[in-house]
Amino acid sequence: MARTDSTTELLSSVDLFAGLKKKDLAKVAAAAKEMTFAPGAMVTAEGDTDSRFYVIAEGQAVVSVNGRKRATLTVGSYFGEIALIDGGPRSATIVAETQLRTFTLAPWNFRPLLKENPDITYTILLEMCKRLRNVEKSLTK
């Protein structure tokens, strides 16, 4: 399987991109870059304004907030999708627990895709609305 095909397949499992047509998903995959991290390497730091989105292709990473472990991420896990869109600060620190291979999108590659492809933008907007509705529901329970 070619890199773009494997990237497309991996990105299709991400909620934010799951509703995209195959041709649009391929455009997103083509903008992605492969990045690897050695065990113990910091991928993102809580509070930083690096706006990259990452999806894990191989390996495992640990999520911590305020220095406390919150989760372990494995193949198919992703993080940074909100920062990719709004450029806001990171809410957690992510550290590679094993050798980690990721596909990543930077805002300077992703934003032009949104501007040039209204179908991609609309599909992502719908997913963000769905997330907002779910948060609103959880607050009214």
What gap in Å lies between CA 26 and CA 21, rounded to an integer? 9
Read off the pLDDT of residues 70-124 as tens digits, 9 standing for 90 and up. 999 999 999 998 889 898 999 999 999 999 999 999 999 999 999 999 999 999 9
Contact assessment for residue 94 and residue 73, using Cβ atoms and an 8 Å cutoff: yes
* CATH superfamily of this structure's domain 3-107: Jelly Rolls (2.60.120.10)
Question: Both ends of the chain: CA-CA distance in Å?
Answer: 46
Percent of the chain with pLDDT over 70: 97
- Per-residue pLDDT, 2: 47
Read off the pLDDT of residues 23-78 as tens digits, 9 standing for 90 and up. 999 999 999 999 999 999 999 999 999 899 999 999 999 999 999 999 999 999 99
Burial 103-118 (b: 16+ CB within 10 A, else e): bbbebebbeebbeebe
Q: Domain map of the chain by residue range?
A: 3-107
User: Which pTM value belongs to this model?
Assistant: 0.87
